[in-house]
A and B are shown apart, each in its own frame.
Chain A
Amino acid sequence: MSAGARTPPRLAEWLLARFVPPGVVGHTIIGDCREEYAEFLRTGSWVPGAVWYWGHVVRIIARLISPSRRDSLGVRGPKRGLGDRVNQTLRFSVRSLLHRKGFAAVAVATLAVGIGATTATFTLAEYALLRSLPFPDADRLVALYSFNPERGLGMSNVSYPDFEDWRTEGDIFVRAAVYRVASLDLAGGTAPERIRVTRAGTDFFSVLETRPILGRVFDASDHDVGSPNVIVLDEGLWSRRYGADPSIVGQTVRLDGAGYSVVGVVGADGHWPMGADAWIPQRFPGGQPTRRSNHSWSGIARLRPDVTTEAAGARMSELTRRARMDETYLATDPFSDVDRGVQSTTVSLARSLAEDELRIVFVVLVGAVLSVLLIACINVSNLFLTQASIRGREMAIRSALGAPRRRIVAQLMTESVLVALAGGALGIAFAQGALALVAQFAPAEAALPALAPSPVVLMLALACSLVASVVSGLAPAIQGARANATDALKESSGQTTSTAGAQRTRRFLVGFEVALSMVLLIAAGLMIRSVQHMLRADPGFEVENVLTFRVNVPAARYPNIDDVERFYNDAISRLTDVPTVEAASVSSTVPIGGGLQLFRVFLGEGDPEPPAGPDHGAMWYEAGPGYLEILGVSLLDGRFFTELDRRTSAPVIVVNESMARRLADDGRVLGKRIRSWRDENVYREIVGVVPNMAISSLVRAEQTAVFVPVSQSTRRGNAFLVRTMGDPDAALPGVRAALAGVDDGIAMAGTTTLQDVLEVSAGSLRFIAAILSAFGAIALVLAIVGVYGLTAFSVAQRTHEIGIRMALGGQGNAVQWFLVRQSGRSALIGGVVGLVGSFIMAQVVGAQVAGTMAVGVDGRTMGMTDPVAFLATGLLLAGVGLVAAYIPARRATKVDPVTTLRVE
């Protein structure tokens, strides 16, 4: 918001201009305010500045229009014309609100909470879903995808020959490039480090229009086979590892054992993909890839100015389809039968960042926050309604003296607009504070910066304020204008009047408020229960005292796969020699913490190939001996891998419980042989069955999975799992030394404990639940205050009637019960409506978030009709309604009837 920083809030200045004396005097006052604001900004930031300015303006206006000695000031007196009428109404409204400071403060504060929460949520949603990327004309940048509806395959990478077709024939891109991401060991300097390296295809940086902050990026010749190895560093890596030394350009760094000459550094604003530490040019020593069914490349492109993302997708699909009809492809591509139905599309690069799950989360959050805003509006509306009742006589007198009805409506509406705008201004300050808090407490992996509301969000906040003013002010205004002068003046019992219409409106609002807060509270309750459930959920293995880290064995120094196997064996035996280590094993995947995520399709021996026969999909993990013991998992059947399962021994496989049931109805699968169709295609004998474990992710229900021995794989990168005696951190130096004893050039990456992995995985969900709980709490407080205030007011209005009842011999208890019943009825009806609404909400939201919020390791999902959440919320609100009706009723019946009747 630096653009608006120099000038004070426009609305405030506009308001000020309405109230200062006309001509040059007024201008000098506005100028003084500007000058002070500018001075304020030299020491503070714009948000406190804006709040300060608003406060000032309000005080100056209050002073300028205070009735005493107004004439001597030369403030414009009443004149004819629309502008002056507006001014008069405005001034009258401000004065009227300042007169009722308590009411105005509560109304402004209530709206500020609602608008503040809305602004903060919109800002977060905008950042998460719509954030623009830091590249020039970023809206023209797209990510390229293929998908295969026939095979039920979602967005996946693209194939190189397809990409070349689109690039050369498509007439859709200004430029396009492919890339791949890899993890490599960076040596030299201090300890070796695993970094994320992007192999950038030709034109990669020119697609993004990235300019280096130091040196250069790649040119076409860098992609030639045989040209010197070059590397571009990310600013973060450059400052972290090389102390931002500008002489780095021209130096050589060692990556997986090979030397690369640094040619440039790219700043954080020219950075793609997210999290990349360095870039090296993609080269094709064996010629460009030709197999069309190999969808293994990430693609990005800059669209031509006249091409939309949809048109680009359609044209790409057309080319993809044409290529699939080519005779040579059909005859030579081994997977042409399944690859035939492939289609292609583009997604805006910014959007490709926002995951679907995140989208749903924010839909839920925005829905929740709008409910909070609505509840706040209802409260303010109620406040205005009660005010309208109190001021009934005032309105009646004005009307009797000839004030046109529209003037009264205009004045009441102006009051609510002023309250809403003040609430909006305060709400923005509140949002700023809330966002700072959110940034501080957000899970670390979200890397959430401290955000400020963008101009768009501020406009939205303003719109919310105006809508809020209409929502909260319209009913009272109409009510006020409708006040019948004769009726109102006939009332002699006090200063307050309350028509049947006003009471009806109030009762309706109480019911509506209860219903709405019920829905919101139940939604929050369900979410909280979901997370609680998840945190309690048994991941299927023990997480205490397990240290984990990943390594990669570089081909440069271990060219032979037998050497790789020897490295892992040596490492395991050295690790188990460490006194604080109980056991050690190797796996392709850190449970929940990521790593290799392969989904493969399996066929039983003798089964016909699909589509003739069924196929069985399962996650593919690789593990070494001791894996199950470290995770504290006991076998269900058969055996796990041992040192005897070697590269040369019979291929074996272990399946989990779900997979066993998939392969055989009775789950008896030992001795059966299955193969991973079209991938490894080797028959493996099932030697064991293990229970289901949450390996891929805690939030996704784990279904079918298989394990194969690490020793029977050719993968070079694996994760170590080390069970320690006592604190894993204390064992870390010994572990480090043991690994360095085998090879001190191999870096340990992502060193952590399983406990931490689990915590981090639960962190995001817990955070969302915390935000929702905060909304729920705000809604609850607002609802309690609203329901209580309204009921108390209704009862207070009937003091006179209660006095008569008591004077005629009514029993205190009976009268109390009568009042509680009357006031409680609308709350009760609201509660029932709210319950029904909650059920509907739970179904709709439940359907939306299924899979995202689904919890459990065996496909169990969290019931969105959790009775505890429903019951607790219902009881809470019912209790509030009863107390809200009881306390004022009790007070009213305790007053001496004579006192109440004396008002007469």
Chain B
Amino acid sequence: MGNAPYPGEFEQMVLLAILQLEDEAFALPVLRELDGRAGRKVSRGALYKTLERLVDKGLLEWQVEDATPDRGGHPRRRFHVTEKGVEALRASRNALHRLWEGLDPVLGKPTS
């Protein structure tokens, strides 16, 4: 898959949600972002697995933040999309864009 593998559809959604959240990209806000913006109800287990996979692929990295009182002393992870991740998203978007082109008569205009 070369040095910037195409992420899968759900992986892309996760990466995009993390980019949207900027400094607030913790696991739970990502879940809410996916639900709110993309209308995807995601199980926690699925999200955790995807996050680990993205880290393994080098598209995502995280740093540990201090616990809030609600977390009973457990730390939390703030996620960042790596350069490689941004590159992969860009490549994916370009590829898709080329494929989408000229299909509006069939699919209609995109809705937001």
Contact = CB atoms under 8 A, between A and B. Distances in A.
Interface stretch (A21-29, A386-394, A544-552): A21-29
Contacts of B45: 59-64
A222 B72 CA distance: 54
Nearest to B68: A35
A31 B52 contact: no
A64 B70 CA distance: 24
Contacts of A63: 43-46, 48-49
A72 B75 contact: no
Contact of B72 (A31, A64, A72): A31
A39 B70 CA distance: 8
A31 B76 contact: yes
Interface string B7-49: 0000000000000000000111000000000000001111011
Contact of A59 (B44, B49, B77): B44
Contacts of B72: 7, 31, 34
A34 B76 CA distance: 11
A31 B75 contact: yes
Contacts of B26: 32
Contacts of A21: 52
Interface in B88-107: none
B48 to A, nearest CB: 6
A38 interface: yes
Contacts of A99: none
B77 A25 contact: yes
A137 B73 CA distance: 36
B31 to A, nearest CB: 9
Contact of B28 (A24, A25, A32, A64): A32
Contact of A28 (B46, B49, B77): B77
A21 B68 CA distance: 21
B74 interface: yes
B74 A31 contact: yes
A351 interface: no
B44 A69 contact: no
Given A59-B44, A63-B43, A63-B45, A30 B74 contact: yes
A73 B52 contact: yes
A56 interface: yes
A74 B44 contact: no
B109 interface: no
A23 to B, nearest CB: 10
Nearest to A73: B52
Interface string A50-86: 0000001001111110000100111000000000000
A607 interface: no
A206 to B, nearest CB: 42
A28 B75 CA distance: 5
Contacts of B76: 28, 31-32, 35
Contacts of B68: 35
A63 B53 CA distance: 14
Contacts of B71: 31-32, 34-35, 38
A31 B66 CA distance: 11
Nearest to B52: A73
A32 B44 CA distance: 9
Contact of A31 (B46, B48, B67): B67
Nearest to A38: B70
Interface string A134-167: 0000000000000000000000000000000000
A59 B42 CA distance: 11
B64 interface: yes
A27 B44 contact: no
Contacts of A38: 70-71
Contacts, number: 75
A36 interface: yes
Interface string A601-614: 00000000000000
A69 B74 contact: no
Nearest to B69: A38
Taking residues whose C-beta sits less than 8 angstroms from the other chain, chain A's interface range is 20 to 34
A701 B28 CA distance: 67
A36 B35 CA distance: 15
Contacts of A69: 49, 53
Given A36-B28, A59-B45, A72 B77 contact: no
Contacts of A56: 44
A593 B88 CA distance: 84
A59 B43 contact: yes
B53 to A, nearest CB: 5
A28 B64 contact: yes
Q: Which of A32, A72, A74 has the most CB of B within 10 A?
A: A32
A39 B45 CA distance: 19
A7 B69 CA distance: 11
A21 B74 CA distance: 14
Contact of B27 (A32, A59, A74): A32
A535 B56 CA distance: 74
A239 B38 CA distance: 55
Nearest to A62: B45
A72 B53 contact: yes
Interface in A819-849: none
B13 to A, nearest CB: 17
A784 B44 CA distance: 40
Contacts of B64: 24, 28
A234 B105 CA distance: 80
Nearest to B67: A31
Interface string A626-658: 000000000000000000000000000000000
Nearest to A41: B70
A69 B67 CA distance: 30
A62 B53 CA distance: 17
A63 B43 CA distance: 9
Contacts of A72: 52-53, 56
A73 B49 contact: yes
Q: Which of B49, B53, B68 has the most CB of A within 10 A?
A: B49
A589 B79 CA distance: 79
Q: Which of A21, A35, A59 has the most CB of B within 10 A?
A: A35
Nearest to A70: B49
A653 to B, nearest CB: 76
A763 B43 CA distance: 49
B75 A60 contact: no
A39 B31 CA distance: 14
A805 to B, nearest CB: 50
B75 A24 contact: yes
Contacts of A32: 26-28, 44, 71, 76
Contact of A29 (B46, B48, B70, B73): B48
Contacts of B74: 27-28, 30-31, 34
B28 A35 contact: yes
Contacts of B48: 29, 60, 63-64
A39 B71 CA distance: 11
Nearest to A6: B72
A375 B56 CA distance: 51
B28 A74 contact: no
Contacts of B73: 31
Q: Which of A7, A59, A60 has the most CB of B within 10 A?
A: A60
A514 to B, nearest CB: 43
Contacts of B28: 32, 35-36
A73 B67 CA distance: 24
A824 B2 CA distance: 70
Given A32-B76, A63-B49, A73-B53, 15 more contacts: A25-B52, A27-B74, A31-B74, A32-B28, A34-B72, A35-B28, A38-B71, A59-B45, A60-B44, A61-B45, A63-B43, A64-B45, A69-B53, A72-B56, A74-B56
19 contacts: A24-B75, A25-B52, A27-B74, A27-B75, A28-B76, A31-B67, A31-B73, A31-B74, A31-B75, A32-B27, A35-B68, A35-B70, A35-B71, A36-B28, A69-B49, A72-B52, A72-B56, A73-B49, A73-B53
Interface of A: 7, 21, 24-25, 27-36, 38-39, 56, 59-64, 69, 72-74
**Complex A-B, nearest 9 residue pairs according to Cβ-Cβ distance, in ascending order:** A63-B45, A31-B74, A38-B70, A31-B71, A60-B45, A28-B77, A35-B70, A34-B72, A27-B74
